[in-house]
A and B are shown apart, each in its own frame.
Chain A
Amino acid sequence: MTEQRDIRIHVPVLARVEGEGALHLTVRNNRIETLQLNIYEPPRLFEKLLEGREYHEVPDMVARICGICPVAYQMCAVTALEQIFGMQGSPRVQAMRRVFYCGEWIQSHALHIHLLAAPDFLGFDSAPEMARDYPDEVRRGLRLQALGNRLIALLGARSVHPVGACVGGFHHAPGAAQTDALIAELEQALPDAAALITWVAALDLPDDRQDFCSVSLRHEHEYPMMQGRLVSDQGLDIPIEDYAQHFTEHQVSHSTALHATLKGKPFLVGPLARMNLNSDRLPDSTAAILAQTGIRFPSANMFHSIVARAAEIHFAISEAIRLLKSVTGPGTVRSAVTPRAGTGYACTEAPRGVLWHRYRTDAEGNIRSARIVPPTSQNQARIEQDIARSLQAFGLDRLEDALRLRAETVIRNYDPCISCATHFLKLKVDRR
């Protein structure tokens, strides 16, 4: 590059992400001067509005933090509150909760892969455009998404802000006929899910290896979802109650989402982090399909996130089939609750990664305080770091449009949920 080039790119609203945000990028003389993932969605202050509410209202209220992963919020809330009240779901209830959660992974991942991420890798601006050239792939994705939604609805009556779960278990058990019908559908969907893994692995994904720290839950024998310890690939191994002692959240002026760091450094949560730390916990059937793609986990290529998502869809379908066989039948799925004062914690793997809740209650079970750390605020610092490194590797001398698209692709690859992070994303790039 001989001449000095100052470029200003302004992307006011970032498309195909959940929530509203912008990216502000200043490139001067082929060096990134400022780079801000600017989350401007107004804060909704959920933690505060939970105060004074009764414990049984919490699952329905926290669901409204995110329309795409309400199950994750509900499951964290019931787990933390049950911990305070000295109870734990029966094995059947725990199986139901895991199935419920599987539905959300399937739904959320299928939506992200097909409607949000894949257009980037195939050269389209949007899923409707992509659907013209790839109708079968888009249909397959929409079918999988719908299947995940039906799985959620089996236990929760609807897929967005389901109404079935409560502190103590579930309001109802699914009927045997409906459950059997869904098991049959899930079995039929396995080939679709297998084909999906192969398809995303064959996409022209950028080969962008980076050094980052993966964080996720880890369980003794399961692929992690609702239980386990928090671990990282750099030696972290703590009980979930200790989260706040290791991870710090701080406010940055360009964002209404809090940034979280581990020992002062960015880290990654989400499907790739889970896969990097737990691929040995996948069922053989999923692992075998993955092995054929030639992609190995752990992987340092951030764009392998989409492959991790596809693999998790296959896993979640298999897991739901396995567990659903045991959830029907007579008997209650709801235990009586005796509220008491205390502090409870929960940490689960939302589709986008680690979600951490802490509640304090009074003796009647009313909420005294709540603290919620969603996955996207944990990833935010990591996304900024990734954009900088990716653009550097991509070449800052490229055309403005190409730079912007790459930056957006990087962001979308995280499936950031700005609503969760209580924020939204716009991209502003200034080159001066």
Chain B
Amino acid sequence: MAGAKTRVAVHKFSSCDGCQLAFLNMGEALLTLFEQVELVHFAEAGPLNPGTVVDISFVEGSLSTAADLQRIRAIRANSDFLVTLGACATAGGLQALRNIADKGDWVASVYATPETISLLENVTPISAQVKVDLEIHGCPVNSRQVTATLRSLLAGITPLDERDKLCLECKRRQHVCVMVTQGMPCMGPVTRTGCGALCPGIGRDCYACYGAAENINMSSLGRHFSTLQLNPAQISHRFVSFNSADPAFTPEPAADTARDD
């Protein structure tokens, strides 16, 4: 990569655009970014070259149509290093909830002539279709995460895959535990670090927008939630929301609880 500037693309699939804002919300540092890399394709910021060969592609959003599949394969073929950005791209996002519902019904209830809407059977994360070099988790990911990734790649080293549990970050920031002190059903013990432990920091329980951490014990947490008076449906809502297509969050903790009791 020495000499010529590193070529970067930012692509979007089905999403809310929130993860791309990790770039656009950098403030004045955005100008430094423009200087350090060549932004070849980033529709929202201006440059349009979706089909060009690049060093690094960031991909936001989940795949939900046949055209999406073709597009992601082309992006993969054109990219040296492919990074998925956020829950939609790495774990389906909120829209993947439709995977567990009757789709025909859903579309019909929102659109009068559902025939014109062509959807895939399931919303899938990018890694289900093509090889992904790094997954950045979060809904949304933040500027610190994308900067760390970009800077690592520019320095020629492997970006860090942050897999610790949120609780560690929470303790390091010396927040009072909302689960222990207030009995809130905090998802910190199974959630991936990276956000800065924002929710416990303002006295609320984490709702796992950063997805699953490594080596988690969902059923144990599910059982604990049932002692906090959550019913099985409420427990499953805790796990099945923003990262519902993440295999680590798919077993039904509620069913587990029922069996154990």
Contact = CB atoms under 8 A, between A and B. Distances in A.
A378 interface: no
A66 B139 CA distance: 12
Contacts of A251: 111-113, 116
B98 A49 contact: yes
A159 interface: yes
In this complex, the interface size class of chain A, counting residues with CB under 8 Å from chain B, is 35 or more
B58 interface: no
Contacts of A424: 12
Given A13-B50, A45-B98, A163 B198 contact: yes
Interface residues of B, number: 62
A138 interface: yes
Nearest to B244: A49
Interface string B133-149: 00000011010000000
Contacts of A419: 15-17
A110 B198 CA distance: 25
Chain B interface secondary structure, helix, strand, loop or mixed? loop
Nearest to A174: B202
Given A171-B203, A172-B202, A143 B27 contact: yes
A129 B46 contact: yes
Contacts of B17: 18-19, 66-68, 417, 419
A139 B16 contact: no
B45 interface: yes
A45 B201 CA distance: 32
B14 A42 contact: yes
Contacts of B22: 160
Interface in A407-432: 417, 419, 424
Given A16-B46, A53-B237, A157-B202, A48 B28 contact: no
A342 interface: no
Contacts of B21: 67-68, 159-160
Interface string A30-41: 000000000001
B234 interface: yes
Interface string B39-54: 1000111111010000
B28 A126 contact: no
A4 interface: no
A126 B198 contact: no
Contact of B30 (A46, A54, A70, A142): A142
A54 B113 CA distance: 29
Contact of A61 (B14, B94, B112, B195): B94
B209 interface: yes
A126 B30 CA distance: 13
Nearest to B64: A42
Interface string A50-92: 0001100100110011111010000000000000000000000
Interface stretch (B102-110, B154-162, B216-224, B250-258): B102-110
Q: Which are the 4 A-B pairs with shortest beta-carbon distances?
A: A126-B46, A67-B18, A146-B27, A172-B202
Interface of A: 12-20, 41-49, 53-54, 57, 60-61, 64-68, 70, 107, 111, 115-116, 119, 125-129, 131, 135, 138-139, 142-143, 145-146, 149, 157-161, 163-164, 166, 171-172, 250-251, 253, 256, 258, 417, 419, 424
8 contacts: A15-B46, A42-B117, A116-B44, A126-B47, A161-B139, A161-B140, A163-B198, A419-B17
Given A143-B27, A160-B140, 7 more contacts: A16-B43, A49-B95, A53-B237, A66-B17, A158-B142, A163-B198, A172-B203
